[in-house]
Structure 1
């Protein structure tokens, strides 16, 4: 058995059918509060749920301001291909990404033809990545929840 020495074409670790994705940005001086306000605005959580539904492969997402609001981290887990994931963000939610990342250094805009190069330059591959259910996609998990809910309704009706 030989070791796989081929480097993946894109950064990030894969575990089962899911990939980790972590980006780090430098926040423009004095823009940390503006970023924080975006996430605290009314309706943001509902908007995030709608975005997740539109993307369809997004397990979770976290944004973290750190180092006295001078750095911003965006981390997600997703199903499938890296390039398709970036394409989905550009097609489905370009304005939200522009609204947030315009407060970071050197952000070219999601519609820039070199956006994938920008993302790769800001992506850090995890040292380790683990998923409790590595082969379950978002669609698999949504289906399991629907089946469980239907089963519980049957049990409730039977009692």
Structure 2
């Protein structure tokens, strides 16, 4: 398997359309999106606190975000804490990811960090379409993506790491 990069064409009518709009193509980095939005004044520390809360929740339950099939998640506050970037790379298409995220947050009884962003609909738990519209409106699509291990899912990576650990343990026992 060799690293790969792909240029992503601008959206046009030839793109597949899913339940919630165009489906960005799967790339060597799998699927993903970047959202950039303005932060509600005075909420930057709340956003940072939400990150800490999520990190602690993952310490207690490492499978908390497993339904989202995430590879990476990156949050950035910038422009003097007035703007927020959410970047996620995952194995499912946009429709599945957003539907799963909404259900996960509702089931867990938690809010989303997005509630601290200007224009985010506060009725998102009962009106999932408003959540999706916000994400679509603030999405900044990439035009090039690269994968060192192209098109490999998070589950495949976890499985390979388990095989590696098992082989390592077996070799240790043979010595």
Alignment partner, residue 4 of structure 2: none
Greater displacement, 66-75 / 76-85: 76-85
Alignment partner, residue 52 of structure 1: 65
User: What root-mean-square deviation, in Å, do the aligned CA atoms of Structure 1 and Structure 2 show?
Assistant: 2.6
Q: Give the aligned length.
A: 155
Which residues of structure 1 form unaligned runs of 5+?
Answer: none
Alignment partner, residue 43 of structure 2: 31
Match of 2:167 among 148, 151, 157: 151
Match of 2:157 among 141, 147, 155: 141
TM superposition score normalised by structure 2 = 0.77
Residues 89-132 of structure 1, C-alpha deviations (whole Å, 9 max, x = no match): 01113454x34121111111432232212211111101211111
1:69: Cα distance to partner?
0.6
Which residues of structure 2 form unaligned runs of 5+?
Answer: 1-8
Alignment partner, residue 104 of structure 1: 117
Alignment of 1:1-159 (within 5 A): 6-9=14-17, 10=22, 12=24, 14-16=26-28, 18-41=30-53, 43-44=56-57, 46=59, 49-55=62-68, 57-94=69-106, 95-96=109-110, 98-109=111-122, 110-111=124-125, 112-114=127-129, 115-159=131-175
Residues 63-102 of structure 1, C-alpha deviations (whole Å, 9 max, x = no match): 1001111111100111122101111101113454x34121
Q: Is the 8 A contact 2:29 2:89 kept in 1?
A: no
1:22: Cα distance to partner?
0.5
